[in-house]
């Protein structure tokens, strides 16, 4: 079966509140990105696929398995949610190893597999530290390690790059692409189209619980680039970073906020590459985080809904 996930006319309502509405979608092998603003239905759709919530109507098959059979599903599927929900007091190593033990893996295999998974996300030095002391980016990575530890056929990743610094974002994108090349199918969500484009050209746009468009990202790039792109940056030397970025032709404006700055750019691809290079050089101290507000997608969705 070429399609890894199939949704047939799926809707989910929470009382009178719409989660997703009449979604029909086929997710092929490889990497597929689910893009939409916060509240658009991305997480609800992923929770439906993984069986964490049941559809109000419609049918779902994941690798030929119904999400109503979670034991069978999670032997072949890994899920990293965007939300933190860690058992209190656990280290990163304990977090992963405890779930592997629950799945029936032997103690020896569990220790070996956990160490390997943590190494794949570059958290070896922090493996035996308590997760409560992890940064946001480190918590994202330990969730990734837990999702891939049992070598699933399908990875479902909900906003996996959120909270990561620019260098770790680049490394994580590279790692996700390597997993896909090794044969793991990936469904990954984001509200930042340009970071998703670094992983795949196959995208699904969702807004207000409906699929707005799907296909090759390059077909809608002109729509995205018609609108100024806003980027928030957290850095220690904000004024020095701002002076450096203002020299770029594509930068429209810069304004300062507590602990960071907000930049408008007309050339987002080049701008993201520029910020990542600045972070790698270390010339202006650490650049801790870059984020992109939902407003960047809203104009595009309004355009598409009118078509």
Output helix, strand, coil percentages for the chain, rounded to the nearest 5.
Answer: 40, 30, 30
For the domain bounded by 222-306, which CATH number is listed?
A: 3.30.70
Which of 236, 85, 167 lies closest to 99, judged by CA? Answer: 85
Per-residue pLDDT band for 294 (boundaries 50, 70, 90) equals low
Question: Which pLDDT score is estimated for 114?
Answer: 97
Residue in 158, 133, 146 with CA at minimum distance from that of residue 49:
158
Strand boundaries in 29-170, DSSP class E: 31-35, 57-62, 77-80, 154-158
Alpha carbons 187 and 159: distance in angstroms, whole number: 11
Q: In whole angstroms, what is the distance from residue 140 CA to residue 108 CA? A: 26
Across the range 124-137, mean pLDDT stands at 95
Determine whether domain 3-219 maps to CATH 3.40.50.2300. no
Q: Quick one: average pLDDT of 149-169? A: 91
Residue with tokens 């070896």: 124
pLDDT in tens, 163-205: 888 888 889 999 999 999 999 999 999 877 777 778 888 989 8
- Confirm if 209 and 20 have CB atoms less than 8 A apart: yes
Average pLDDT over residues 85-100: 94
CA pair distance 203, 191, nearest whole angstrom:
12
Question: pLDDT, tens digit, for every residue of 212-264?
Answer: 888 887 666 665 555 677 888 988 898 999 989 888 888 888 989 888 999 98
Residues in the chain: 307
**pTM of this structure:** 0.79
Assign 293 a pLDDT band (cuts: 50, 70, 90): low
Share of residues in the chain with pLDDT > 90 (%) = 52
Q: What is the mean pLDDT of residues 276-305?
A: 73
In whole numbers, what is the pLDDT of the chain averaged over residues?
A: 88
Domain boundaries, the chain: 3-219, 222-306
Strand ranges (E), the chain: 3-14, 17-28, 31-35, 57-62, 77-80, 154-158, 185-190, 202-207, 210-216, 229-235, 251-257, 260-265, 287-291
Residue 201 exposure: Cα atoms within 13 Å on the Cβ side: 5
Contact 244, 278 (CB under 8 A): yes
Bigger pLDDT: 10 vs 2 = 10
* Predicted confidence (pLDDT) per residue in 29-74, tens digit: 999 999 887 788 999 999 999 999 999 999 999 999 999 999 999 9
Please name the residue that has the structure tokens 């049941």: 54
**Unique residue bearing structure tokens 């050089």:** 281
| Cβ within 8 Å of residue 159, ≥6 positions away | 42, 82, 189, 190, 191
Ramachandran category for residue 19: left, alpha or beta (phi over 0 → left; psi -120 to 50 → alpha): alpha
Helix (H, G, I), strand (E, B) or coil at 258: coil
> Which tens digit of pLDDT belongs to each residue from 75-89?
999 999 988 989 999
Tokens encoding 31: 């990497």
């Amino acid at each position: 079966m070429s399609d890894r996930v199939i949704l047939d006319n799926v809707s989910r309502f929470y009382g009178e509140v719409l989660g997703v509405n009449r979604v029909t979608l086929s997710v092929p092998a490889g990497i597929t990105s689910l893009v939409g603003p916060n509240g658009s239905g991305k997480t609800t759709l992923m929770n439906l696929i993984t069986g964490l919530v049941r559809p109000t109507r419609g049918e779902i098959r994941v690798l030929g398995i119904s999400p109503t059979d979670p034991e069978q599903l999670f032997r072949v599927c890994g899920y990293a949610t965007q939300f933190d929900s860690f058992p209190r007091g656990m280290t990163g190593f304990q977090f992963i190893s405890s779930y592997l033990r629950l799945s029936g893996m032997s103690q020896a295999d569990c220790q070996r597999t956990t160490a390997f998974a943590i190494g794949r996300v570059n958290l070896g030095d922090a493996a035996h530290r308590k997760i409560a002391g992890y940064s946001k980016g480190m918590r994202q990575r330990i969730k990734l390690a837990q999702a891939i530890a049992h070598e699933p056929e399908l990875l479902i990743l909900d906003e996996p790059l959120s909270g990561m610094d620019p260098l770790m974002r680049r490394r994580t994108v590279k790692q996700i692409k390597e997993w896909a090349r090794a044969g793991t199918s990936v469904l990954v969500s984001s509200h930042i189209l340009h970071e998703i484009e670094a992983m795949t050209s196959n995208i699904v746009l969702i807004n207000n619980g409906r699929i707005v468009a799907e296909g090759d990202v390059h077909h809608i790039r002109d729509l995205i680039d018609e609108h100024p792109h806003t980027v928030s940056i957290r850095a220690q030397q904000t004024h020095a970073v701002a002076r450096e970025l203002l020299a770029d032709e594509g930068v429209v404006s810069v304004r300062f906020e507590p602990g960071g700055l907000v930049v408008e750019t007309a050339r987002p691809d080049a701008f993201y590459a520029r910020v990542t290079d600045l972070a790698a050089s270390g010339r202006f101290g650490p650049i801790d985080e870059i984020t992109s507000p939902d407003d960047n997608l809203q104009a595009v969705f309004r355009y598409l809904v009118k078509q």
